[in-house]
Chain A
């Protein structure tokens, strides 16, 4: 139990979450020279080493280069205490405000400073509050704005000039936000509410053997399931994927203990099913040709500007595990994994989760016989029609009962004194889940 464990420190090789106000990003801290780009700012990560997770760092400008999209600033990071973080309103001591906006005209003359003045200001000042102070001083309309409007103005400026970043340890919650915001397609459009329900409906927990087929979620689905299986438990996951190499970014980012990592058995769908039905094959090729093609269309998908994020995860261990003298004579990693997976397949699973880019129907046909009776199944798809067909097929087969096809509204709210309302923009597509229980 982790009752008295202090927060862990940032280590080389870790994936880290860099947070600047509401913006978050997953980054691999691969080497001391590693940098991370947040818009126009480039951060040198060197000074993060051995600092505790959750620490806040101040971005200090080291040099300014002119780049393609305007000035690119290189920063070093300095550990700072939380007391340096104060609300800009407090720092500036703003007191007067207007009642409404009847006297404010949008004539482009409100700000007396021009853009080059501001750029110079930025070079000269190290603190965002100083820049904002100047901006407020030179704004003709600031003090006639309403209190709420002033707050909005300050927040907007703060967002632009904020000079602090926080380094956090990746969790499923932080990662699904990052992945969904950056490119929802890369995680097959699995939204946070849908992910949370996949975990619930599949019943994945510290006991039992679980089966997952996913065709590319940056490792998010296996990571979420392994997270629920937990450390020092008896649960196991067989993770089937269509490529040569499983996508594992999210899984690696969780930095699970070795014993837990080993309970995630990642295998190629074609190769493991062949071995399951036909016994061990002597072929040397790690996967079927069709699988190789599939892999080409689904490359490891690193997020922008971080080539280090691609982890050739299965290649290294392969070499390590091969006996040093005999070239490829010992069993390869994928062969060992296939063997473990087929053993578990013969024992059958306690749940099945499918999130496929392919039509789910044939995949279910192949994998349903591997699930014990009275066990939950969950099928995800971004479109309803595919699941509609699958629903009917399962219903007629009589092998699955309590079938439900569901989707969600996720409504987010701004709750502030006197300013409570639903958010202006919300995500409109949760995707669809088909759930049910297997029968004998």
Chain B
């Protein structure tokens, strides 16, 4: 239930983020026992680089607390879409926070919105959409991979989000979003290999009062075909963009500042002790920021469009 609303203490069944360091965090389910590969019920022990954690011990603990590991410690944080995106089990490639934020903004998702998403994938974006539209909106999410759809459905249930989402196993490029959703959506999001095939279905699913559309494609050719289709159907405000986030690495550095002035003067023989003839050095502290060695150069092209109101859909 840990994704529904902010809470103060860990309850049994919560997804808890075990935060060890910037590069190391894990999502764990707060249950005292788990079933192992042999089908036996065993105590839930979670292994980290800093030793093991008896998961039962964190139930009832306040979120934000420090918990002891056998060889160190960690912080327990309440799961949120941001932390989940960084820790979730990948079933597919996923979309990350910078792109997702832009998608939610451009699709104008807010409480009460009805949103269609395809494909569900690993559910990274779905968790964000659900946070934005609950408690009065609804997400319809589609995936053509049956196991993935089932896993996602199960996950939303365990995360306390089942009331706001319907998960469908369906090939939307060929079959569309089902007639029940005709004219039902405020926004449609596509992350498909051939988005242009699903654009006519998106057109049908959007409300008569209009709506917003987004397609995420790694390759520009997909966006081109998608845009041709959008233009044909009367979408406007079509625009494409990329959002790339850079991290700044903050470090305090101690740098030597060397004095070279003395070289201009002749050596004086009087002070010939070896220490004094050494180059005078001074250490100064600077707070610096630099970009990391590698950073994301491309994620995907985001194509947005508006379906204006009152376009006949016959």
Contact = CB atoms under 8 A, between A and B. Distances in A.
Interface of A: 1-3, 5-7, 52, 54, 82, 171-173, 192-193, 195-197, 199-201, 203, 205-208, 227-233, 350, 372-376, 384, 388-389, 391-392, 401-413, 415, 417, 420, 432, 437-440
Interface residues of B, number: 69
A391 B250 contact: yes
B247 interface: yes
B110 interface: yes
Interface string B205-224: 00101100000000010011
B39 interface: no
B4 A207 contact: yes
B105 A374 contact: no
Given A54-B210, A206-B136, A415-B240, A437 B246 contact: no
Interface stretch (B126-134, B261-269, B271-279): B126-134
B252 interface: yes
Interface in B216-250: 220, 223-224, 227-228, 239-248, 250
Contacts of B5: 207-208
B151 interface: no
A406 B247 contact: yes
Interface string B16-33: 000100100100000000
B77 interface: yes
A252 B105 CA distance: 19
Contacts of B111: 205-206, 228-233
A152 B105 CA distance: 30
A344 to B, nearest CB: 14
Contacts of A199: 101, 104-105
A197 B101 contact: yes
Contacts of A404: 22, 247
Interface string B76-114: 111011100000000000000110111011101011101
B162 interface: no
Contacts of A401: 19, 75, 77
B62 interface: yes
Contacts, number: 194
5 contacts: A196-B106, A230-B111, A408-B246, A415-B223, A417-B228
B13 interface: no
A352 to B, nearest CB: 13
Contacts of A405: 247-248, 250, 289
A112 to B, nearest CB: 34
Contact of A197 (B64, B80, B98, B224): B98
Nearest to A350: B6
Given A372-B6, A373-B63, A417-B228, A228 B132 contact: yes
B128 A3 contact: no
B158 interface: no
Interface in B23-74: 25, 62-66
B65 A172 contact: no
B260 interface: no
A82, A171, A350, A439 pick with most chain B CB within 10 angstroms:
A439
